[in-house]
Structure formats: structure tokens, C-alpha cells
Amino acid sequence: MPNNRVTSINPWHILFVLDDSGSMSGSPSESLNDSMKLAIDEMKALTMGKKNYFKITVIRFGSQSSILCEAESEKDIDENSIFQFSGESGLTDMEAGLQDAIDVLNRNGGEDTDFRPYVFLLSDGEPDNEGDALNAATKLKATTIPAGKPRIITIGLGSDVNENIMRKIASNEELYVHLQNPEDMVRFFPNIGTATATGGGEEAIEQSIINI
């Protein structure tokens, strides 16, 4: 079964599925870029560049979805080239982003001793097709790889989020996080990596994320 602690022997695959639709333009996309750069820098600092504790996947979705990096070590990510979100990617095809996450996990199954993969889905609105997004989320939750079935944490940004669907997509309702302002992302995302420093395993990581 998957290991419940993150170590270099039991790495953690983190998939960020991030909304870059038109409503994210301006301050939201700027804060997203800043917060993700800080998050990767925090992971690098924790591992001191010596051993890989994380595998990072970044998926951007708007009218379409694209994989910006796939299962890359935190040591190898060039955050300045990857995190160039601008809110210029059109509509909100959340289903495509979730399907890309499924495909990435199936290509990068890991080992049965790895820490369970986590998917962090961020959106400031609602999907173009709610039914398709929910179906993709159900498939994602059921994806079985050696590293274990993924856990999904959903993050709603601002006042126009479809909170009902974000709660349904999350692995459980408690794993839906609501951020009021773009600046809150700069507090939230860097703490994902530092949550591993507590050494308390999966339960402690999830509780620390909920408490952020």
C-alpha cells in the first residue's frame, strides 16, 4: 500500500490543475504565478537540492487543456518559464484538465511504496459543462496506479465559484478550500510543500491544508 509519509524513497506526485480562463486575467493570474513560484521554491528549499521528494505536474485549462510539465522533479522545474498564466485561455473546460490529470497518472504510475498522488484543482468560476466535469472527476478518483488512488483537493477563488460542484469533485467535502482573494493564493500554495515537514503523514498533511 502507499507509504503515508513523504521521503526521497517515497516521493509525492503533486498535480496542479489550474484555471487560466478569461476571468483569471489581471490580479488572479499574477497572484497564481507568484504563489506557484514560491511553492516550488519552498519545495526546493526543503529538499536542499540533494534528493527528490516531489514530482510535479502542472496542467493549464481554459477553452482547452495543456500539460506544462509532467512528473518533473522539483529540482528540475524552471518556474519562471512554466508559470506564465495570464487569463487569456478562453472558457473553462475543466473536464479536459481533469482528463489530462488521469492521463498523466496512468503514464506515471510510480511505485507501490510511493506517497499517494494528490491533485490540486483551482478555479474561480464554474465548468463549461458541469456533467462532463463531474464524470471526469469520478474517473480520476477511480484511477488506480501502483502509487495509489489520487486524492483531490479543490480550491475555489473569489465570489463566483460554483462551490457545489467543487465540493463534489473533491475527494470529500472537507477537501474543498475557498480563497476569497487572489492574494490568498500566495499564502496557500507555498504551504503545500511545507506541510510535509511535520512528518505526520497523509492525515497531518490534509489537516494542515484544510487549516491554511
C-alpha cell at 83: 508559470
Distance CA 18, CA 153 (A): 12
3-class secondary structure, 54? strand
- Give the pLDDT of residue 199: 61
Which residue is listed with cell 472527476?
137
Domain encompassing residue 168: 12-211
* Residues 124-174: tens digit of each pLDDT: 999 999 999 999 999 999 999 999 999 999 999 999 999 999 999 999 999
Which among 60, 112, 107, 111 has a CA at the least distance from the CA of 87?
A: 60
C-alpha cell at 203: 492525515
- Give the pLDDT of residue 112: 93
Q: Is residue 6 in some structural domain?
A: no
- Give the DSSP H or E segment for 44: helix 27-47
Q: Report how many domains make up the chain.
A: 1
Q: Is residue 3 in some structural domain?
A: no
**Mean pLDDT confidence for 176-186:** 94
Distance CA 154, CA 135 (A): 15
3-class secondary structure, 141? helix
Q: Is residue 106 in some structural domain?
A: yes
Instruction: Return the DSSP state at 175.
Output: G
- Give the pLDDT of residue 120: 97
* CATH for 44: 3.40.50.410
Angle, vertex CA 126, rays to CA 177 and CA 170, nearest 5: 40
Distance CA 152, CA 167 (A): 10
Q: Is residue 5 in some structural domain?
A: no
- Give the pLDDT of residue 100: 98
Q: Is residue 49 in some structural domain?
A: yes
In the chain, the percentage of residues whose pLDDT exceeds 90 is 76
Q: Is residue 149 in some structural domain?
A: yes
Distance CA 108, CA 14 (A): 12
* Residues 62-119: tens digit of each pLDDT: 999 999 999 999 999 999 999 999 999 999 999 999 999 999 999 999 999 999 999 9
Which among 117, 120, 114, 118 has a CA at the least distance from the CA of 8?
A: 114
Say what the alpha-carbon torsion angle 21, 188, 56, 175 is, to the nearest 10 degrees. -80
C-alpha cell at 29: 493570474
